[in-house]
Amino acid sequence: MSPIEKADIWLFQLINLRLVHPAADDLMVFLTKGNLSNHIFLLAILFILIRKGKNALPVILLALAAVGIADYIASGILKPLVQRVRPCFALDHCRLLVVQSRSFSFASSHAANAAAAASMLWIFFRRGPLVERLFALLMIVCAFLIACSRVYVGVHYPGDILAGMLIGIMSALLLYWIFSWLFKNIVQREIMSNKRNHDD
């Protein structure tokens, strides 16, 4: 076992076995279960609709697309490629707080998806009024807690979480860069061209 793997296991056991509390158990289970924590993202969509109005649709679609890309990379490519066994099935001592199927562990799709959504919302709201900047920060915090919950409940190593978060962040940044390039170099040019033709 490599030093990195040993450190990963040590950190997992620290979070999963030692840094625990009954109140934290309830919070982490809430965050890790999609049927419960998805309400957070529904409220986020409502906020986007209120703040962005007719411009909300591109923001929502880009966030969903970033989540789709991140999820595919984490679950569709890396999990079957790496085939890392989850800690709840690989380690003798583990607090498993949720029902978990025997799917692979690396990388965490929960962490990837949450980071992708939060990163895209951060891009759009980080420079707005205070309420929008606070919203963007709240989404970052929620994504981080959702990612950490996967270790706490016993289904992922910290290394899985780190990889998932990096995948999510890079997916959002790459998608936004592509969107910005297309908008500036194709859409805006087409609009300006049509405007000039109309003026002539």
Show the domains of the chain with their CATH numbers.
30-187 (1.10.606.20)
State yes or no: pLDDT of 68 exceeds 80.
Answer: yes
CB-CB contact of 95 with 154 (8 Å)? yes
State yes or no: pLDDT of 199 exceeds 60.
Answer: no
Q: What is the mean pLDDT of residues 44-64?
A: 93
pLDDT in tens, 144-183: 999 999 999 999 999 999 999 999 999 999 999 999 888 7
C-alpha span between 80 and 96 (Å, rounded): 23
CA dihedral sign of residues 4, 10, 13, 14: negative
CB-CB contact of 142 with 40 (8 Å)? yes
Token digits of residue 43: 């409220």
Kindly report which listed range (39-48, 129-138, 154-163, 188-197) carries the lowest average pLDDT score.
188-197
CB-CB contact of 175 with 68 (8 Å)? no
C-alpha span between 44 and 79 (Å, rounded): 29
Kindly report which listed range (36-45, 125-134, 146-155, 161-170) carries the lowest average pLDDT score.
36-45
- Give the C-alpha distances (Å, rounded to integers) separating 87 from 3, 9, 47, 67, 165: 17, 8, 37, 25, 19
Under the banding of pLDDT at 50, 70 and 90, the label for residue 39 is confident
The pTM for the full model equals 0.89
Quick check: helix, strand or coil at residue 126?
A: coil
Kindly report which listed range (58-67, 133-142, 174-183) carries the lowest average pLDDT score.
174-183
CB-CB contact of 14 with 151 (8 Å)? no
State yes or no: pLDDT of 123 exceeds 60.
Answer: yes
Q: What is the pLDDT of residue 21?
A: 93
Q: What is the pLDDT of residue 189?
A: 66
Token digits of residue 145: 């807690």
Under the banding of pLDDT at 50, 70 and 90, the label for residue 198 is low
